[in-house]
Amino acid sequence: MDFSELQRLKEKFNAKKSALGSAWDSFERSFDIEYAHNSTAIEGNTLSLIETKAVLEDNLSIGGKSLREIYEVVNHKKAFSYVKNCVLEKQPLSEKTVKDIHAFLMENIMTGGIYRNVAVRITGAKHKPPVPSEMYTAIKGFYDRLPFKTELNSIELAAYTHAEFVKIHPFEDGNGRTARLIMNYQLLSDGFLPVSVAKEDRLPYFETLEEYAVNGNLSPFAELVANLEKERLTDIIAE
């Protein structure tokens, strides 16, 4: 990963953004819909991109879809708006903000922001998340370590935040969506663009997370995040 190249692209993007004017709002709205669609689809939501747009922009109901699926995309938009507001207020990522993000994601589905008290398994994964008693220690350690991860650049820190959080799996449900949101929290906090993992790329995405969870190797996942960031920055600059 060439972090210096990403820094140069970020500077070009910042110069370009001011020239885009109101068009930037359109780019943001488009990304928000795509992001909500992909992040929920990775977890099994069956709404198409067009259906997600109809729900989020046009406030339409979709026949044949469960209320849970509707709530998942609506809640994702709310949670991401909360993330962006926190970043604007320059709030560092904390246990409170993570619990708040999860509460937004789970609204009208289950009580959010509460750590699990049951064991969980990740379907198809070799890694087994810690049992509740060990999980509490692990998640506290996660928050304690975040401010001191100074050996990591911004992309690596974002990747670590996601990979370590989902490895711990502190909630009974919604860990993946929460992890992707807190990854983007870190990216936005350092002036980078948020990224979206396409549902079609879920296999390499899961494989790189598994590599970290089992072997402690963050590089493949950090490289995946870097490529997503480079793609977004390049696309905006080219407009």
Cβ-contact 167, 160 below 8 angstroms: no
Secondary structure (3-state) at 25: helix
Give dist(CA 138, CA 143) in Å, integer.
Answer: 9
DSSP letters for 190-209: TTPPP----GGGHHHHHHHH
Catalytic residue from among 37, 76, 102, 169: 169
162 a catalytic residue: no
Other CB atoms within 10 A of residue 206 CB: 18
Separation between Cα atoms, residue 79 and residue 104, nearest integer Å: 5
Number of CB atoms found within 10 A of residue 223's CB: 15
Catalytic positions: 169
